Amino acid sequence: MKVKKRILKISLLVLISIVALFIFLPIIFKSYIKNNLVEIYNRSQSDYILEVGEINLTGFNSGMLLTDVKLVNSDTASDSPLTSLKAESISIENVSVFKLIFKKNLQAGTLEINSPYLTMNRVKEKKTGEQEKKPEAKNSLNISEIKITDPHFAYFSNRTDTLPLFKSDKGLITIREFSVDTIKDSKAFSAYDIDARLQGIKYLTKDSLYTIQVSMLQVSFAKRSLQIDSFQVIPSYSKKEFGHRAGKQTDRLSLIIPLITSSTFDAKSFVERQMVIADSMEIKSFALNAYRDKNIHEIVEYPLPLQERIKSIDIPVSVKHLNVLDGDVLYEELNGGSITAGYISFNHIVSQIKNISNFKPEDTLTVNAKAFFGNKASLDVKLEFPMEENDNSFLCNGELNSFPASTLNSMLPYVAGVKADDGYINYVKFNFHATKKSSTGTVAMNYKDLKVAVVDIVDGKTQNTGKKIVSLLANAFIVKSDVPTKKDNRTSARISYKRDPERFIFNYSWKSIFNGVKKVVTGKDD
């Protein structure tokens, strides 16, 4: 009986000792655990230094609370995008303290960070052969899930910039199966999935002329998905003030895209290397308004051709297909001395754009688009931009069908001092090859009963006696009322237009087409 009591006492003492060991060992080794945790992370990679103020344990194999945590990129030449992370506290659940103490390995369940200050910078992709291999991890660090709630997130173009490309103070970043024990080459970490959702993103351009904002940006590694809600470019000033604030004659742009999506988006490359790669992307709809006040002093500028603009994008971009399901474009121009702006509009634009890339010169950027011109005429157009051509040339062909000539009166009276009083245009067909300096091609037209009137360019309406006489003469001797006519079957004319190097592709294309249209209407070719 005494033996049984002794065995019972010994067993009870052992049990109490084990319980005490489980309870008090983490407390006794708290400092040791903290040092091990910091050492594990710092030895597992070469770019970042982890600093921890205090560690409080909430159970032997349960929880851990870290306070005053800093993770800082110590190498200014590093190609890792994270610059720093600072948090007042980080909680970790299901920590294996035994492995942390004796094996110097960290295995944990969920790690939660609330409202940290998180800064990242854009990383330029190194050329082949320039990658520096990181040292193999000597300790393992594995966390099942990391949740970062409402980060004060700022993303910079580079580490020397003081103004971020964009910032956000609300969202959720979830990282699953995070590990730094299988690092290879230039990767700072490995993860099965990163699901990042940032809300209320805003960016004020360096010239303070625009605010760019996004309601929500979400990317996912595992789903290979991208979703951008309510992308907006908002001018800071009114139409009247904008050019004066800019200090030059320039287009004032306003853009709204309610939704951009992709289910083939390489989110991993986007997060780790800031590469935009997707097989396909889709824009549900968009509305673009552009306004130019030509009363503002014009500074001579030479905008880059489209190919050069794409090639000059800092980050690698490759989108094989971009589909636009619906869109509207409105362009307004206030001519010098005028009081009323003329405008043209393209409505219900449906477009397929192929091969948007700045690192595949063998590809040809192709745009196929359908739209309504002035909500009346149907427009089909195809543009081809060979990316490897040194002269930045492009091909353009299309057809504008079935509209009253008066459709042009939203623009012509205010920029050319001429309006269409009557007439119906059956079609305008155009095909031209454009280089950096000039364009050549043909325009074919079919119309009837065209009559024009010369008006005052200031308001696009006034007709004094002199202008009425000029109108009569123009209709009688200059403008062909019908094409073709009974006497003349010619319906086409050559395009030969020298490019204005100060204007972009849209102006270049319109002026090229108009060059041929004038020759058809007047019956005079070069």
Candidate from 13-17, 246-250, 376-380 with smallest mean pLDDT: 13-17
Structure tokens at 2: 């005494």
Structure tokens at 155: 């993303």
Residues near 39 by beta carbon (within 8 Å), at least 6 away in sequence:
104, 139
* pLDDT 10s digits, 99-154: 777 667 778 889 999 999 988 887 665 433 344 444 554 567 788 999 999 999 88
Residue 516 amino acid letter: G
Write down the pTM of the prediction: 0.81
Query: How many alpha carbons fall within 13 Å on the CB side of residue 300?
Result: 2
Higher pLDDT, 392 or 491: 491
Residues near 352 by beta carbon (within 8 Å), at least 6 away in sequence:
321, 322, 323, 324, 367, 368, 369
What value does the CA radius of gyration of the chain take, rounded to a whole number of Å?
33
Mean pLDDT of 175-192: 68
pLDDT value of position 468: 67
Share of the chain above pLDDT 70, in %: 83
pLDDT value of position 366: 95
pLDDT value of position 465: 65
Residue 257 amino acid letter: I
* DSSP string computed for 445-466: EEEEEEEEEE--TTTS----HH
Residue 283 has pLDDT above 80, yes or no: yes
pLDDT value of position 76: 60
pLDDT value of position 320: 94
* pLDDT 10s digits, 461-486: 777 766 666 666 566 557 788 888 87
Tell me which residue has tokens 């000029």. 470
| pLDDT band at 14; cut points 50, 70, 90 | low
Residue 25 has pLDDT above 70, yes or no: no
- Beta-strand ranges (E) seen in 294-404 are 317-324, 327-334, 342-357, 364-373, 377-386, 394-404
| Beta bridge pairs of residue 172 | 149, 197
Query: How many alpha carbons fall within 13 Å on the CB side of residue 411?
Result: 17
Candidate from 34-48, 196-210, 230-244 with smallest mean pLDDT: 34-48
| pLDDT band at 186; cut points 50, 70, 90 | very low
Query: How many alpha carbons fall within 13 Å on the CB side of residue 194?
Result: 17
Distance CA 383, CA 510 (A): 13
pLDDT value of position 70: 92
Taking phi first (over 0 means left), then psi (-120 to 50 degrees means alpha), and beta for anything else, what does residue 208 get?
A: left
Residue 435 has pLDDT above 80, yes or no: yes
Query: How many alpha carbons fall within 13 Å on the CB side of residue 185?
Result: 8
pLDDT value of position 13: 63
* pLDDT 10s digits, 52-88: 888 887 655 568 888 999 988 876 656 677 788 999 9
* Run of H or E residues at 27: helix 2-28
Residue 46 has pLDDT above 70, yes or no: no
* DSSP conformational letter for 389: -
Residue 182 has pLDDT above 50, yes or no: no
Residue 185 has pLDDT above 60, yes or no: no
Mean pLDDT of the chain: 83
Number of Cβ within 10 Å of residue 76's Cβ equals: 8
Residue 28 has pLDDT above 60, yes or no: no
Long-range Cβ pairs for the range 409-412 (8 Å, 24+): 410/342, 410/343, 410/344, 410/345, 410/374, 411/333, 411/342, 411/343, 411/344, 412/342
* DSSP string computed for 147-158: EEES-EEEEESS
Contact by Cβ (8 Å): 520, 443: yes
In terms of Cα–Cα distance, which of 411, 428, 327 is closest to 371? Answer: 327
pLDDT value of position 252: 92
pLDDT value of position 389: 73
